[in-house]
């Protein structure tokens, strides 16, 4: 049942795979494309600030898929049907978290290659950026899932989730972008640790949220 659900969730959310949304990746690359036009073609300035721009783009791209992440399946009665078959909400949300990250983390990391080329990010900075995004996107996915589940039963949920994600994602942004400024890998350890804690917490928080949403 878990494997079937994961396949189904991936088919729903994976970009370019039938109905999935490629929008976050397109948005991410678009920001990297526009930035040189806005600040001018100064290679030094871009190399210095480009990493931070990539991080901000990644954070904002993480907001885009949240609207459909949980609310639609509550409306469909999809989670109710899984519940009747004995599946715990925590298991449903664990699968959803994996599918959500797979459909937005790796594509974003791949999109960092063209984005970094556009922003003249090279060498060790590029490596740290790549590793940082790899470590940080699971945390962003976990925050996104918790927020999507919490706001699923609210009418203005989509607008609210954007506002809620930004402060919660700040620690990841600070350490992730901070690693670029100082060119150190210790901050990346912090990013990974924050991500790990969020990933461990998210299925329980999101599971409790959809259980509560069912009662009203």
Partner 1 sequence: MQASPPSLAAHDLACRRGERLLFRRLSFALEAGAACHVTGANGAGKTTLIRAVAGLYTPYAGVVERSGALALLDERPGLDPDQPLGRALAFWFGVDGFADAQAVMARLRLTALAEVPVRYLSTGQKKRAALARVLGQAAQIWLLDEPLSGLDAFSQAMVSALVSEHCAGGGIALIASHQPLDVPGMTAFAIEDFAPSPAEEEA
Q: Which residues of this chain interact with partner 1, rule CB under 8 A?
A: 1, 4-5, 8, 12, 18-19, 75-78, 80-81, 83-85, 214-215
d(CA 122, CA 63): 27
As measured in angstroms, the least distance from the Cβ of 70 to partner 1 is 14
Q: Which is nearer to partner 1, 85 or 167 (CB)?
A: 85
d(CA 85, CA 202): 22
As measured in angstroms, the least distance from the Cβ of 185 to partner 1 is 42
As measured in angstroms, the least distance from the Cβ of 8 to partner 1 is 5
Q: Which is nearer to partner 1, 64 or 169 (CB)?
A: 64
SS3 content of the chain, % helix, strand, coil (to 5): 80, 0, 20
d(CA 59, CA 39): 21
As measured in angstroms, the least distance from the Cβ of 216 to partner 1 is 9
SS3 3: helix
Number of H helices, E strands in the chain: 10, 0
Q: Which is nearer to partner 1, 72 or 182 (CB)?
A: 72
Q: Which is nearer to partner 1, 11 or 56 (CB)?
A: 11
């Amino acid at each position: 049942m878990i494997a079937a659900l994961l396949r189904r969730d991936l088919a729903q959310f994976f970009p370019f795979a039938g109905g999935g949304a490629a929008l976050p990746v397109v948005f991410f690359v678009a920001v990297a494309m526009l930035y040189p036009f806005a600040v001018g073609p100064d290679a030094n300035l871009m190399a210095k600030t480009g990493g931070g721009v990539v991080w901000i783009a990644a954070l904002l791209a993480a907001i885009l898929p949240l609207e459909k992440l949980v609310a639609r399946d509550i409306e469909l009665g999809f989670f109710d049907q899984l519940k009747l078959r004995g599946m715990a909400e925590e298991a449903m949300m664990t699968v959803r978290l994996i599918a959500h990250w797979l459909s937005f983390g790796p594509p974003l990391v791949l999109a960092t290659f063209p984005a970094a080329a556009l922003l003249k990010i090279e060498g060790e900075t590029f490596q740290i950026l790549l590793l940082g995004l790899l470590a940080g996107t699971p945390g962003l996915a976990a925050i996104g899932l918790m927020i999507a589940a919490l706001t699923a039963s609210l009418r203005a949920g989509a607008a609210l989730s954007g506002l809620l994600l930004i402060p919660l994602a700040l620690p990841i942004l600070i350490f992730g972008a901070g690693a670029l400024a100082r060119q150190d890998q210790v901050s990346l350890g912090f990013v990974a640790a924050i991500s790990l804690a969020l990933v461990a917490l998210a299925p329980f928080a999101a599971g409790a949220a959809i259980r509560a949403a069912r009662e009203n």
